[in-house]
């Protein structure tokens, strides 16, 4: 179901509005949600606040440079990471930070017009979200600096979806891909002009009362199709297990909903090619990894087994209108994630 009116995510009855939204949702009024235990007992304000998770990830992609950067607020702890991969030289560097009790972490509840920030010592990350795009400013103690703007341009239809999560939760996600990127990166004494490199980007702003144990597979492409049109792609399974899907493709900013997909890959050897396909074979893609950002944490109450691969995609997608979209050696991500939070 798609809503064509300005929605209020949590209604007067304390329940979410399910489905996709074509218009901005305004504030994510999670405090109005009637959160209850599986035994129907109301959850008080303190624990409701602590159970509400938020994160935002940006992926910046070109043939010669890949950047991933994120801020995650789990209330009991927050973290941020950034990594850079030089495709020409194979050079890779990663930075990761933790803040107990989410100190020095700010996360707006307005995905279309709000700020996200994280600080740790002399390292600071700022994300500014606007109706017209996203601005990233990162300064790390190492000397790395990133200033980037992801531009919605004349038309960009973000994916906005709210769906159930487990027995008593829900997840709201807002995503865009295939966005032109301008700005610069200063890394290890070199200055990279992102627009001149043909850099394109994606954004993932997500929040909610997620399942205690959450699993997802995710694929994302930001590049061009075989005819040169600006292409964005978002595919996932596992996190939306209730008949809803966040799968979508963008051509020159126009979103095309896509059907559910399956992921086939070897967890023990994740650098082998991945296959992402639909039952109808209207989506049939092969992902070839070039590198990986991984994290494995087991802190009893909190745990994460995270692999975010980056590499290239090849294959074909057939739209609902019957148009075949060929993807040839376009940069993207493929992710396998288990989380306990």
For the segment 19-68, what is each residue's pLDDT rounded down to a tens digit?
Answer: 999 999 999 999 999 999 999 999 999 999 999 999 999 999 999 999 99
Angle of CA points 155, 192, 87, to nearest 5°? 90
- Among residues of the chain, what percentage have pLDDT more than 90? 89
What string of DSSP letters covers 166-191?
TTTEEEEEEEEEEEEEEEEEEETTEE
Within 8 A by CB and 6+ apart from 175, the residues are 158, 159, 202, 203, 204, 205, 234, 246, 248
Radius of gyration in angstroms for the set of CA atoms belonging to the chain, rounded to a whole number: 19
More confident of the two residues 241 and 2: 241
State pLDDT tens for residues 65-99: 999 999 999 999 999 999 999 999 999 999 999 99
Mean pLDDT value across residues 158-164: 95
pLDDT band at 1 (very low <50, low <70, confident <90, very high): very low
pLDDT of residue 66: 99
**Average pLDDT taken over every residue of the chain:** 94
- CATH code for the domain defined by 2-340: 2.40.370.10
CA distances from 283 to 158, 238, 277, 280 (A): 20, 17, 5, 8
Spatial strand order in the sheet of 324-340: 254-257, 248-251, 230-237, 213-224, 324-340, 303-318, 283-298, 274-277, 262-264
- Pairwise CA distance, residues 128 & 205, whole Å: 12
Q: What's the 3-state SS for 234-266?
A: EEEECCCCCCCCCCEEEECCEEEECCCCEEECC
Residue 240: its pLDDT value, please?
66
Cα-Cα-Cα-Cα dihedral sign, residues 34, 35, 40, 43: negative
Instruction: State mean pLDDT over 125-141.
Output: 98
């Amino acid at each position: 179901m798609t809503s064509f009116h300005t929605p209020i995510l949590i209604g007067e009855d304390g329940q979410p509005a399910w489905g996709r939204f074509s218009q901005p949702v305004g504030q994510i009024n999670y405090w109005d949600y009637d959160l209850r235990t599986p035994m129907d007992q109301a959850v008080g304000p303190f624990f409701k606040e602590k159970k509400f998770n938020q994160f935002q990830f940006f992926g910046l992609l070109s043939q010669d440079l890949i950047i991933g950067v994120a801020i995650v607020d789990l209330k009991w702890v927050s973290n941020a990471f950034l990594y850079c991969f030089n495709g020409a030289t194979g050079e890779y560097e990663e930075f990761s930070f933790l803040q107990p009790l989410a100190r020095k972490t700010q996360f707006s509840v307005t995905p279309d017009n709000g700020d996200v920030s994280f600080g740790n010592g002399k390292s600071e990350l700022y994300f500014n979200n606007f109706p017209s795009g996203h601005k990233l400013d990162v300064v790390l103690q190492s000397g790395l600096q990133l200033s980037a703007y992801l531009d919605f341009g004349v038309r960009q239809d973000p994916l906005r979806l709210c769906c159930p999560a487990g027995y008593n939760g829900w997840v709201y996600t807002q995503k865009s891909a295939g966005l032109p990127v301008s700005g610069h990166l200063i890394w290890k004494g070199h200055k990279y002009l992102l627009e001149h490199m043909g850099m394109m980007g994606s954004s993932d702003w997500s929040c909610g009362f997620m399942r205690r144990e959450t699993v997802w597979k995710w694929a994302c492409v930001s590049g061009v199709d075989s005819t040169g049109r600006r292409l964005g792609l978002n595919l996932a399974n596992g996190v939306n297990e209730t008949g809803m899907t966040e799968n979508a493709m963008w051509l020159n900013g126009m979103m095309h909903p896509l059907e559910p997909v399956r992921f086939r890959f070897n967890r023990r050897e994740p650098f082998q090619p991945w296959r992402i396909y639909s039952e109808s074979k209207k989506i049939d893609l092969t992902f070839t990894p070039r590198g990986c950002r991984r994290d494995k944490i087991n802190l009893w109450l909190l745990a994460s087994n995270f692999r975010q691969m980056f590499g290239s995609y090849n294959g074909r997608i057939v739209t609902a209108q019957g148009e075949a979209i060929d993807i040839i050696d376009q940069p993207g991500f493929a992710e396998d994630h288990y989380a306990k939070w």
